[in-house]
Amino acid sequence: MIKIELFKSIIGQEKLNQDLSVLSKLAFDIEKQKNKVIKSNVGGFNSGSIDSSLVSNLTKDILYFGNIFGKNFNLKEKLKLSNIWININRFKDSNMQHTHPFSKISGVFYVKVPNNSGNLVFINPHRIEHFLTVDNFNEFNSETWSFTPKENILYLFPSWLEHRVNMNLSKKERISVSFNLI
């Protein structure tokens, strides 16, 4: 039988070589200077948009790999950074299910990831509740798909794809940098 795959979702994952100690220090310095913004975060610190020059090496990697990832969507123009922000999630902090409207590609880079600090969870855009009686779940029949974040890993995804971050059950901070590309 010929198989035709429709309406695929794709996630990009890339290991970077960023200086995590510098980014971690920057995150705590920004937290001291700025009031937190409430977006999808339940507790935790969201810096709101920061000056991308503060994370210029990371921004270069984001744009490089973001544009490679964007080729999957046959985008007509080169992607540009719309905004970038820092997240610090402490014990029992999480991020509610959300999307990133008015962007094309979004992503998150993990700076500090203690064990049990919350998975990155993507929600299947196809409502497939009736598939819950399958033998084994896979990328076609799952309602959600989780990634256990690791330090120095960049995740890229289409901005319309719903996602959340599970609760941090570690006593240590999870630090990430999120962004949108247009």
Q: What is the pLDDT of residues 85-113, one digit of tens each?
A: 999 999 999 999 999 999 999 999 999 99
Output the pTM of the full model.
0.95
pLDDT in tens, 57-66: 999 999 999 9
Q: Tell whether the model's pLDDT for residue 130 goes beyond 70.
A: no
| φ and ψ of 163, to 5 deg | -155, 165
pLDDT for the residue 131: 62
Place of tokens 């999630």: 89
- CA 6 vs CA 25, 60, 107, 129: distances in Å: 44, 32, 23, 18
- CA 7 vs CA 4, 92, 97: distances in Å: 10, 34, 21
User: pLDDT-derived band of residue 139, with 50, 70 and 90 as boundaries?
Assistant: confident
pLDDT for the residue 132: 66
Return d(Cα 154, Cα 156) in angstroms, integer: 7
* Residues 6 or more apart whose Cβ sits within 8 Å of residue 6: none
Choosing among 2.40.30.60, 2.40.50.140, 2.60.120.620, 1.10.287.90, the CATH entry for 12-103+114-125+142-181 is: 2.60.120.620
pLDDT for the residue 40: 96
